[in-house]
Every structure is written in structure tokens, then in C-alpha cells.
Structure 1
């Protein structure tokens, strides 16, 4: 049997504010904005190149606003992704990497992993409601 994660629900308080943040600042693509009545609205957004979307809305979850923690957005160039988000007005943490790599015990050091190894470098940001996203580098290649 094959399973596929295709949608993650992100609990937000103000749908319009969250929609503007994810589209205008983070660069997600708006797929669906459907509201058949005042009690229900589903907005589906997809990060460029992703097979998994997020949903924000009204009447779609009872999870506390801002309770999403550590959803990963994987990028091939963490420095560029961070710089782009900062340029769009998103507050992104400094880059950090796992250390020691060979026997990782949960510690981090500042900056990119010197070897630019897969899954070793991170930064994070939060949306206006406090939902936290982790940027992780995978597939970086020098030319």
C-alpha cells in the first residue's frame, strides 16, 4: 500500500491575513478559495514545486491557532531561500547546522553545514499566528 501526504491543515485566526502572508511573502500558489457559507471557508495553497499543499480557513479544524510546529519546507539552496524570504518581509532565523555531523546528538552550530550535506542545515520562520516552519537544505550542488 502506498500513502501520500498531500494536505496539511494550518490553524489560523485571520484567513485573509494568513492568505496574504503565504502568497505575498512566502510565495505559495493559491489553488482553491471556496466558501459556500459564512461558517466555512477552505483556502488551499501549494509551495512551488511541492506535492503537498496546506489548507487554511474557517470551520476546517479545531486545532488551536498557531499550534503547527516544525513543518518542513525543503530547499536546494538555503542561503538563497532565506535571502528571498527576508526580502519579502518574512522574519527568518539565522542559519544553523547539525554538529557533530558524524555522531549528531542534537547540537547545532551557526551557519551552513561546511560540506553542505543533505538535511544538515536549517533556518525557521513563523506565520503571523505563530505556526512554525523549518527550512531545510537538501540537494545543494556547487557548479
Structure 2
């Protein structure tokens, strides 16, 4: 049986501000924007190339805005991803990688697969991690 993660709820304070950040600055596609009165709104957004979407809105979760941390977006080229985010006005960290000594700044040209990252936050402080995976493993193509 397949168990597919297809939707993650991200808590935000201002739905319109968050929607603008995710669509205009991150390039996520708007799939749904539906309201049922003032107490319920669901906005579903999907990162380019992703099978999993996020939902922001009103009346969806009791989680505090900004409490969502560490969700990974995976890219093939971390430097190109960073350049695109910077061009779109996103405040993003410099790339870093992990070694036996812990987190190290920079991009090691001899880096191991899955070892280079960068981070950014949405307007509410929900933290995202971008991970470079240059070649997918056979079961994740």
C-alpha cells in the first residue's frame, strides 16, 4: 500500500500576505482559494514540480503561526535555487553543508549527495529548508 503525503497545513496570521509570499516570491501555484464565511478559508498552494501541496487559511489548525519549522523543499541545484529566491526578494541563508564537525558554511564541490542546504522563513516565521539532491534515488524518481 502506498502512503503519499499530499498536503501540509502551514499556520499563518494573514492569509493574503502569506498567499502573496508563497505565489509571488516562491513561485508556488495557487490550486484553490475558497471561503465559507469569515471563519473558514482554505488556500492550497503547490511548489513547482511537487506532488505535495501546502494549505494556508483560516479555521484550519490550532497551531500557532510561525511554529512550523524544518519542512524540506528538494532541488537539484542549490546555487540556482538560491539565486532564484534572492531574485524574487526572499531573505535566504547562504548554502551550508554538514560534516563530521557539524554544520559548515559554503558549498563543498566534493560534497556528498544530500549534504547541502539553505534556509528561509515566510512572513510569519515558519521556517523552510531547501535541500540539494542532485540525483534522485531509484525509488524517488
Structure 1 length normalisation: TM-score? 0.91
Whether the aligned pair in 2 keeps the contact of 1:76 and 1:138 (CA below 8 Å) is yes
SS of structure 1 residue aligned to 2:21: helix
Distance 1:74 1:112 in 2: 16
The Cα offsets for residues 112-142 of structure 1, whole Å up to 9 and x where unpaired, read as: 13224321000000000000000000026xx
Matched, 1:137 2:132: yes
CA–CA separation in structure 1 for the residues paired with 2:108 and 2:126: 26
Alignment of 1:1-143 (within 5 A): 1-100=1-100, 107-139=102-134
**Secondary structure, aligned partner of 2:36:** strand
Q: Deviations over 1:33-62 (max 9, x none)?
A: 000211100000000000000000000111
Q: Which residue of 1 aligns with 2:138?
A: none
Q: Within 2, Cα distance between the matches of 1:111 and 1:51?
A: 30
The 1-side partners of 2:111 and 2:33 are apart by 38
> Unaligned stretches of 5+ in structure 1?
none
Contact kept in structure 2, 1:72 and 1:135, CA below 8 Å: yes
Distance 2:108 2:6 in 1: 30
1:59-108: CA deviation from partner (whole Å, max 9, x where unpaired):
011101111010000000000101110111100011101113xxxx6x01
Runs of 4+ in 1 over 6 A off after TM superposition: none
